[in-house]
Amino acid sequence: MSQVWKTRRLPIQPGPAAWNRLLPEPAPAVELSTAVNADVAIIGAGFAGLSAARRLIQLDPDLRIAVLEAGRIAEGPAGRNSGFMIDLPHDLSSDIYAGAAIEADQAETALNRRAIAFATDVSEENELPQEVFNPYGKINAAATSAGDQHNREYGVHLANMGESYRLLDAREMSELTGIRYYVSGLFTPGTVMLQPAAYIRGLAGGLKSKVSIYEQSPVLEIIGQPGGWMLKTPKGKISAGRVILANNGHAESFGFFVRRLMHVFTYASMTKPLPEGVLGGELQWGVTPADPMGTTVRRVNGVGGNRIVVRSRFTYNPSMTVSEGALARAGALHDKKFAARFPMLGGIPMEYRWAGHLCVSLNGVQAHGEVAKGVFSAVCQNGLGLAKGTLSGISAAELAMGQDTETTRALCAMDPPRRLPPEPLSWLGANTTMKWKEWRAGRE
């Protein structure tokens, strides 16, 4: 009997991927519509899937590689995030982002930097402009004395790790942002800020002559056959010796890691372009909240004009969808956060509102490794997929090529994702905890 995994559901993207809407219309999608053969088939064209494809080519330029994406490139979470490719520990379940142990955080930082170096090469190869790939660093902004205290504690943790950082006072924060909201900030130099959709489209564009990328080609079934696997899509099929699962939380839709992946959504809104001169400060900046459950804010400038992006709220949705009502409630919250920070921009409405699917594990690990003969998993990035998705794609490619590297060893040494309590306990527990932490984060 051959092994068969059928997907129970396909991704539904709530609201528009705003970053992608700012870019020129892409060329029509190439769908998989026949039967083809490949050496490696990759499911999902986000950070993990496309990075895996690029790493495979580096390891063997003659390899036949196919990437199958359910939707369009940059319409999924890869094109709807806040764009911080972070090098340092950024544990969203911790009060100050720090992990439990210094050595573990140092090792994680070294791995994230491998991902950032890989992405830097992508940016250089594809001549991405600074508005798309900006090695700007990151500021954790504090709006209250509690937030300021978080920054100071995180600073001590960074110093113990041997990392450099700089504390910014209220005046420096105001000069940067043009607003008087923040009391302090903690700057670290290693983060890159992306226009995520433009980066993902750049990465995919750079692969096109060497990799077959099929969009609007969701994989419906993975079927074992002699010498490998057959992947069925609505109009075609592909036979491949090896498969990389780079479909993040939707790995569970096929029956992998059942009840071990938490499906969390987070929400964002983007304004219409700001008229010239209404806001002082720098034209491009971004701040993550000093309290992990607070609000991320970016000011972007480039294709699409000068705009503000606000991200806030997490919800646990095991159905892997969110309702229109949840999107509207998050939007109302964003309006409040925006008004509190930018009173001078009162008349400027939001143009786009959206949510996106994060995959998180209870014990903060990725779901990585060979899950069946020749099937390699690169999923569950714990909300930090820009660095961790890139890294897990690199590692899955190396594993698929039989390589034993520092990266594969580190990712494969992780514990498996811990099993979730049964529903509705998980739903209640996760949503209550996140609501309470959001309330506690207050003005942050």
Ligand X SMILES: Cc1cc2nc3c(=O)[nH]c(=O)nc-3n(C[C@H](O)[C@H](O)[C@H](O)COP(=O)(O)OP(=O)(O)OC[C@H]3O[C@@H](n4cnc5c(N)ncnc54)[C@H](O)[C@@H]3O)c2cc1C
Residue bearing tokens 């709807």: 80
Q: Which two tokens stand for residue 369?
A: 């490794």
83 is an interface residue for ligand X by CB under 6 A: yes
Site for ligand X in 86-105 (CB under 6 A): 86
Strand order through the sheet with 350-360 = 166-169, 184-188, 138-142, 285-289, 296-300, 307-316, 262-271, 350-360
Secondary structure of 25-80 as H, E, C letters: CCCCCCCCCCEEEEEEEEECCCHHHHHHHHHHHHHCCCCCEEEECCCCCCCCHHHC
Reduce the DSSP state of residue 128 to 3 states and report it: coil
Which DSSP state fits 272? P
Name the one range near ligand X by CB under 6 A: 43-51, 102-110, 128-136, 333-341.
Answer: 43-51
Question: Shortest gap between Cβ of 145 and ligand X (angstroms)?
Answer: 26
Among 5, 47, 165, 256, binds ligand X (CB under 6 A): 47
Using CA atoms, how far apart are residues 402 and 412, in angstroms rounded to an integer? 13
If the CB atoms of residues 70 and 397 are measured against ligand X, the closer one turns out to be 70
DSSP lists the bridge partners of residue 225 as 228
218 is an interface residue for ligand X by CB under 6 A: yes
H/E run at residue 185: strand 184-188
Name the one range near ligand X by CB under 6 A: 95-103, 140-148, 382-390, 430-438.
Answer: 382-390
314 is an interface residue for ligand X by CB under 6 A: no
If the CB atoms of residues 266 and 317 are measured against ligand X, the closer one turns out to be 266
Among 15, 44, 289, 364, binds ligand X (CB under 6 A): 44
248 is an interface residue for ligand X by CB under 6 A: yes
Among 381, 395, 407, 408, binds ligand X (CB under 6 A): 381
If the CB atoms of residues 155 and 196 are measured against ligand X, the closer one turns out to be 196
Under 8 Å between Cβ of 344 and 388: no
If the CB atoms of residues 126 and 288 are measured against ligand X, the closer one turns out to be 288
Under 8 Å between Cβ of 389 and 381: yes
Under 8 Å between Cβ of 391 and 414: no
Using CA atoms, how far apart are residues 337 and 141, in angstroms rounded to an integer? 14
Question: Shortest gap between Cβ of 249 and ligand X (angstroms)?
Answer: 7
If the CB atoms of residues 278 and 362 are measured against ligand X, the closer one turns out to be 362
245 is an interface residue for ligand X by CB under 6 A: no
Name the one range near ligand X by CB under 6 A: 57-65, 247-255, 319-327, 361-369.
Answer: 247-255
46 is an interface residue for ligand X by CB under 6 A: yes
Using CA atoms, how far apart are residues 296 and 308, in angstroms rounded to an integer? 11
Using CA atoms, how far apart are residues 59 and 51, in angstroms rounded to an integer? 12
The pair phi, psi for residue 308, each rounded to 5°, is: -110, 140
311 is an interface residue for ligand X by CB under 6 A: yes
Q: How many residues bind ligand X (CB under 6 A)?
A: 41
* Residues contacting residue 311 through CB under 8 Å, at least 6 positions apart: 82, 266, 267, 268, 295, 296, 297
Question: Shortest gap between Cβ of 147 and ligand X (angstroms)?
Answer: 18
Among 20, 82, 123, 140, binds ligand X (CB under 6 A): 82
Site for ligand X in 254-283 (CB under 6 A): 266, 268
Q: Interface with ligand X by CB under 6 A: which residues?
A: 7, 10-11, 43-49, 68-71, 76-78, 80-84, 86, 218-219, 246-248, 250, 266, 268, 311, 356, 358, 381, 383-387, 389
